[in-house]
Amino acid sequence: MLKASVALALLLWQLPAPIAEPDHLRFERAIVSPSGGEALQACATLDAQVFAHAAPDLKDLRLFANQTEIPYATTLSEPLQPDTDEARILNLGLRDNRIVFDLEMPHRPYTDVTLTLARKDFLATATVSGGAAIGATGTKLGTFTLFDLTRQHLSRSTSLPLPESNFPYLHLELALSPAPGTTATLAAPAIVESATVPPSREAQTLFTTTQQTASFVQRDRKTIATFTVPARVPVERISFDLAPGYKGNFSRTVQVEAVATGTVPPSQDGQETETQLETQPESLTATILRVHTLLHTEGTNHEIAEENLSVPVSIGSNMQRTARLQVTIDNGDDQPLPLAAIRLEMRQRRICFDPAAATAPLTLFYGDPALQSPVYDYGKLFHPVATPLTAQLSAEHANPSYHPRPETRPFTERHPELLWIVLLGVIAILAVVALRSARTFSRPPQP
């Protein structure tokens, strides 16, 4: 009896995983691929609708050519290099009232260097050259303007936008002068505290717009935009578009707040899931700015061109229900910015496949939470090529042949109480067996 009970428990626990069939997937989208060529890969960019209507982690995405399932792989746009490296400062000193030093650069291509300078309200001209060794004749990489205009409420910039380079060493000369309206101070090498090297611009992340708005509310010297973010749609950057022709300089604080507000998406049986979700708001504060001006000080013209109109965020990807996202720009005593749009963006995700494997038009299906993530040899061996064939997803449609999948969840998921009953029964049987054994061993021997 004990063996039979254990066998029943195992039978209830282990049922085969459901098989992907087009008729059980709620949504479909045709994939349009340019004809011609012999590309090894074709890739289509996934949009917000896929995330909103597919199962978590996109585990139910399926490609079909008629009734034939086509293997695929998904890619996520991300930097090809480490997030940030440190450049070691060498030979820091003062020469002809200029701060001079060398930087030992990381062993990879780079396009930017950001200096940490312990000084406010300054203008600086940075002359940069690169070379294979310290002291060797270098290649001039350019002259750049650094600035801190805190007193004018125009923020600061200490980044050097270099052409893509891979010199082991950089030589820098900084000529500092006070910002207009401030007191002159002597250049001191000690203000150069550190130097960091972000990923090169050629390795930056690509983004896809998930939604945008041109509708704003002005309240208490603040510009407010509100979005409704569907469940599971990632928001990884917020970008701001200014009205065409606007030339003003500004620096504004932006606050982003997201609160989960909607219901949990229905499960396979159509019932709302009783899941405890985080209801506290996710929030962050950042700065957007634009400074385009020509400043003259101590006989030198400083052309300043700095612009940052996006805010990195990480909101939505872990939210299992609809969220309200509010973007607030604090205008202070200034006029509201002439905004054309505010855009929510996610890192670019693509679905890639072998175009030669499709002998008929391809259709992307999704919308069956009972499915598990597919495991293809194609995905295990996948290596993205530099220039895949660009495919397009057509508009999303309800699958006309869809009908609900017969109940395929394990019996224990549909009736979890039964498993507990079986387990308690097994425990009771074991207890009875143990009690009888104890009585048998404790009974005194018969004469």
Question: 215, 37 in Cβ contact below 8 A?
Answer: no
Are 102 and 188 within one domain? yes
Residue 309's pLDDT is 92
Residue 299 pLDDT grade (very low, low, confident, very high; cuts 50, 70, 90): low
Residue 428's pLDDT is 82
Are 171 and 140 within one domain? yes
Residue 204 pLDDT grade (very low, low, confident, very high; cuts 50, 70, 90): low
pLDDT tops 70 at residue 8: no
Residue 147 pLDDT grade (very low, low, confident, very high; cuts 50, 70, 90): confident
Look at 7-11, 36-40, 71-75 and tell me which has the smallest mean pLDDT. 7-11
Separation between Cα atoms, residue 33 and residue 21, nearest integer Å: 23
**Within-domain flag for 163:** yes
Are 188 and 209 within one domain? no
* Residue 440, burial from CB neighbour count under 10 angstroms (0-12, 13-18, 19+): exposed
Residue 421: CA count within 13 A, CB half-sphere: 7
pLDDT tops 90 at residue 387: no
- Residue 121 is part of which domain span? 85-202
Residue 220 pLDDT grade (very low, low, confident, very high; cuts 50, 70, 90): very high
Encoding tokens for residue 358? 């499709």
**Within-domain flag for 422:** no
**Within-domain flag for 3:** no
Residue 129's pLDDT is 94
Q: What is the DSSP string of 93-142?
A: EEETTEEEEEEE--SS-EEEEEEEE---SEEEEEEEEEESSTTSPPEEEE
Separation between Cα atoms, residue 230 and residue 208, nearest integer Å: 16
Which residues in 31-50 are b (16+ Cβ under 10 Å) and which e? bebeeeeebebbbbbbbbbb
Residue 276's pLDDT is 36
Are 239 and 343 within one domain? yes
Look at 71-75, 219-223, 292-296 and tell me which has the smallest mean pLDDT. 292-296
Are 198 and 210 within one domain? no
Q: Over pLDDT 70: what percentage of the chain?
A: 79
Are 137 and 269 within one domain? no
pLDDT tops 80 at residue 361: yes
Q: What is the CATH number of the domain that holds 305?
A: 2.60.120
Domain C-terminal end among 158, 174, 202: 202
**Within-domain flag for 447:** no
**CB-based contacts of 377, cutoff 8 Å, min separation 6:** 71
Are 262 and 358 within one domain? no
pLDDT tops 90 at residue 29: yes
pLDDT tops 60 at residue 203: no
pLDDT tops 60 at residue 195: yes
Are 47 and 102 within one domain? no
Residue 293's pLDDT is 73
Residue 181's pLDDT is 75
**Within-domain flag for 98:** yes
Domain C-terminal end among 151, 186, 202: 202
**Within-domain flag for 125:** yes
Residue 164's pLDDT is 83
pTM of the model: 0.68
Alpha helix segments (H runs only) across 287-384: 377-380
Question: 233, 48 in Cβ contact below 8 A?
Answer: yes
Residue 362's pLDDT is 94
Residue 303's pLDDT is 66
Domain C-terminal end among 304, 328, 347: 347
pLDDT mean over 407-426 = 70
Domain count, the chain: 3
Look at 33-47, 97-111, 159-173, 235-249 and tell me which has the smallest mean pLDDT. 33-47
Rg (CA), the chain: 31
pLDDT mean over 165-192 = 85
Question: 145, 102 in Cβ contact below 8 A?
Answer: no
Question: 15, 349 in Cβ contact below 8 A?
Answer: no
Are 221 and 336 within one domain? yes
pLDDT tops 60 at residue 263: no
Are 219 and 321 within one domain? yes
Residue 2 pLDDT grade (very low, low, confident, very high; cuts 50, 70, 90): very low
**Within-domain flag for 34:** yes
Are 224 and 247 within one domain? yes
Are 91 and 48 within one domain? no
Q: Which residue has the higher pLDDT, 4 or 30?
A: 30
